[in-house]
Amino acid sequence: MKDDIATAEQIAERARWMRRRAMQMVHGKGLGHIGGDLSAADILATLYFGVLNFDPARPDWPERDRFVMSKGHATGVLYTALCAAGYFEDELLESYMAPGSRLNGHPNRNYLPGVEANTGPLGHGFPIAVGIALAAKLDGSDRRTFVLTGDGEQQEGSNWEAAMVAAHNGLSNLTLIVDRNHLQQGAPTAETTALDPLDAKYAAFGWEVHEVDGHDPAALLARLGAPGTDRPRAIIAQTVKGKGVSFMENLAKWHHGVPSDEEFAIAMKELA
C-alpha cells in the first residue's frame, strides 16, 4: 500500500525525470506523441506520487485506486510514471515500441502491470472509468477512480454519455482530469470543435468542477487530494503542449513529432 506521499518539490523532480525519459524513448524509437507526454507529466507525477493508493508488488490488489489513461497515445509519460512507481525496471523502457514489446504505442493491460484498461481509440477510457467507479460503489468500496482525457478527446460523444451516467449515479469516487493544452492533432481545439465553456458544460451535467494549473504540483496535489463531495469531480488542468521544451511548446506539429538529433540535444538540455 502506498504510504509515502511526496512533497510538491519531489513530485516536480519526478515529472522532470519522466519528461527526460519520455523524450529519450520517443527520439530513440522515432515514434510517439511527445507533445502530449510533456503536457501531462506533472499530472501523472502528482497522481502516482501524491494521490493514488496502490501497491506495485500487488498490481491486482482489489482495493487499489484505479487510474485510466484515456488519451492512450500518451504512452511515453504513462510508462515512465509506472516505471518510476515501481511496476517494472527502467531497462524495460528501452523496448518502447519495439516489435513484440510489452510497451505498445497504446497501453495494454494484458501486457503490463499497472495498466487498468486498454485505450487508444479516443472516447473509450472515460466510459470505462465510469464503469470501474460504479462497480466500486456497488461493492461498497472506498477505492477511487481517476481518468485523464485529452481536450481534443472531449469532442467524442461517448464522453458526454459517460458524464451523464456518472452524475446520475452520484459517482463521488470518480475524478475526471482534462489535459487542457488547447491543441490536438493538426490544429487548435478551438478551430476543430470549440469546447468552451468546458467548465459550465460539466457543471450543467451535475459535476463538481474545478480549474487548476496543470503544471503546478502543489495546486494539483491540493485539488486531486481533496476530499470529494456527493458528485463526480471534473478537474480542468490548464497545460502547455510540449511543456518544458521551447521549440515544442504550443505547436500542434509536436502532437506526434519526433525530434532530430540536434533538436533532441536542445530538448534534453532544457529539460535538465
Q: Where are the domains of the chain?
A: 8-270
Give the per-residue pLDDT at 5: 77
Q: Are the C-beta atoms of residues 242 and 39 closer than 8 Å to each other? A: yes
Q: Is the pLDDT of residue 97 over 80?
A: yes
Give the per-residue pLDDT at 4: 67
Q: Is the pLDDT of residue 241 over 60?
A: yes
pLDDT tens across 20-74, in order? 999 999 999 999 999 999 999 999 999 999 999 999 999 999 999 999 999 999 9
Q: Is the pLDDT of residue 94 over 50?
A: yes
Can you tell me the distance from the alpha carbon of 212 to that of 219, in angstroms, rounded to the nearest whole number? 7
The more confident residue out of 45 and 4 is 45
Can you tell me the distance from the alpha carbon of 163 to that of 127, in angstroms, rounded to the nearest whole number? 8
Can you tell me the distance from the alpha carbon of 231 to that of 169, in angstroms, rounded to the nearest whole number? 9
* Length of the chain as a residue count: 272
Domain 8-270 belongs to what topology? Rossmann fold (3.40.50)
* For range 123-142, the mean pLDDT: 97
Give the per-residue pLDDT at 1: 41
* For range 101-123, the mean pLDDT: 96
The more confident residue out of 123 and 3 is 123
* For range 142-169, the mean pLDDT: 97
Collapsed DSSP state (helix, strand, coil) of residue 197: coil
pLDDT tens across 210-237, in order? 999 999 999 999 999 998 889 999 999 9
Q: Is the pLDDT of residue 2 over 80?
A: no
Give the per-residue pLDDT at 3: 53
Give the per-residue pLDDT at 168: 98
Q: Tell me the three cell numbers of residue 172.
A: 463521488
Q: Is the pLDDT of residue 100 over 70?
A: yes
